[in-house]
């Protein structure tokens, strides 16, 4: 995160025309081993945030659309856009979107951050999950945590693109969340 801030500051200080996008959370994070296997094996969408936290899940394809729209509008040079998905479901609403897209009942599981960290440790080696787990734990511990979504209407007024709903994104990636046929 600090490196991104430093790069944005260097761009601002330069004469290079630029537009910066600050995304919330990528929908593709839901394909990770901390979420997809839970959906496949347990019919639970797991993520290491409290159930009441709203997240504007942002499809990477939508980021690409926004970048293309920005490139086509050089008058926006110097702009800084915070971006997220067009919806900001909480855990229960995310589970409903999964249920509708996959046509089976899915519940939400607020994955404890230490378990999330353990999954990362298993993938990348001991200690790899410490910092990400601490970041997610801070979201649990801080009731005034920063929002993980933004109102996209003002952004889309300047960059008119058609963005996916979370349900559409889930449906497009249904194979990753569906048990293999025996």
- Asked if the model's pLDDT at residue 60 lies above 90, the reply is yes
Environment class of 37 (CB within 10 Å of its CB; exposed 0-12, middle 13-18, buried 19+): middle
- The arithmetic mean of pLDDT across residues 28-33, rounded, is 96
When pLDDT is cut at 50, 70 and 90, the band that residue 6 belongs to is confident
Residue 2 has a pLDDT of 65
Residue 8 has a pLDDT of 75
Q: Indicate whether 6 belongs to any domain.
A: yes
- Asked if the model's pLDDT at residue 170 lies above 70, the reply is yes
CATH number, domain containing residue 10: 3.40.50.720
- The arithmetic mean of pLDDT across residues 67-90, rounded, is 95
With contact defined as beta carbons under 8 Å apart, do 101 and 174 qualify?
yes
pLDDT tens digits for range 86-113: 999 999 999 999 999 999 999 999 999 9
For residue 133, give both structure tokens: 């787990």
Q: Indicate whether 70 belongs to any domain.
A: yes
Q: Indicate whether 170 belongs to any domain.
A: yes
How crowded is residue 14: how many other Cβ atoms within 10 Å of its Cβ? 9
When pLDDT is cut at 50, 70 and 90, the band that residue 1 belongs to is low
User: Largest alpha-carbon pair distance within the chain?
Assistant: 59
d(CA 108, CA 129): 22
- Give residue 81's domain range: 2-177
pLDDT tens digits for range 101-157: 999 999 999 999 999 999 999 999 999 999 999 989 998 898 666 778 999 999 999
| Residues paired with 181 in a beta bridge | none
With contact defined as beta carbons under 8 Å apart, do 161 and 65 qualify?
yes
E-strand spans in the chain?
A: 20-23, 25-26, 44-47, 57-58, 80-83, 107-110
pTM for the full model? 0.90
Mean pLDDT for the chain overall:
92
Report how many domains make up the chain. 1
Q: Indicate whether 182 belongs to any domain.
A: no
């Amino acid at each position: 995160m600090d490196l991104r801030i430093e790069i944005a500051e260097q761009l601002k200080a330069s004469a290079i025309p630029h537009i910066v996008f600050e995304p919330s959370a990528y929908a593709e994070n839901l394909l990770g081993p901390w979420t997809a296997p839970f959906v496949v094996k347990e019919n639970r969408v797991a993520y290491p945030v409290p159930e009441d936290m709203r997240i504007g899940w942002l499809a990477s394809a939508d980021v690409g659309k926004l970048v293309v729209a920005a490139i086509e509008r050089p008058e926006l040079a110097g702009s800084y856009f915070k971006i997220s998905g067009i919806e900001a479901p909480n855990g229960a609403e995310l589970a409903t979107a999964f249920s509708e897209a996959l046509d089976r009942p899915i519940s939400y599981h607020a994955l404890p951050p230490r378990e999330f960290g353990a999954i990362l440790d298993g993938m990348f080696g001991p200690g790899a999950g410490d910092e990400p787990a601490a970041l997610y734990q801070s979201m649990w511990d801080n009731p005034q945590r920063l929002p993980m979504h933004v109102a996209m209407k003002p952004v889309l007024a300047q960059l008119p693109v058609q963005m996916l709903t979370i349900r559409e994104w889930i449906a497009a990636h249904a194979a990753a969340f569906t048990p293999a046929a025996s």
